[in-house]
Amino acid sequence: MDPDASVDYYQKIKRPMDFQAMKQQLHRNNNTGPEEFEDDVTRLFTNAISYHAPNNWIHIYATKLQRVFDVLWAPLKAKPIKEAITNVKDDCSQPEKVIPIPKQADG
């Protein structure tokens, strides 16, 4: 989050997280394990949802992306990693199973 973008962001969000910070942590191997990664992703979405009004596009998409993450992450927590990765690949090959895609009207 750009500090100049929203003056009150850091007043409202006490534990900020963004994709750039997550990328840096992963490249530096600062994450202690999958639980910390999950916490960072969840915090990123929670912050976006908390900060933005319910009708704001960021709030709406953060909510949707949190659901997608939860669906895709669940097998990794519940099963051996090799089996979980296979399941995630299968789910990603059919995204409409995770995110319903409305059919467009002809015309």
pLDDT digits (tens, 9 = 90+) for 31-46: 667 888 899 999 999 9
Closest to 69 in 3D by CA, of 46, 50, 102, 101: 46
Give 80-106 pLDDT, tens digit per residue. 655 555 555 555 555 555 555 555 555
Q: Does the CA dihedral 5-49-26-91 come out positive or negative?
A: negative
Kindly tell me if the per-residue pLDDT of 15 is higher than 60: yes
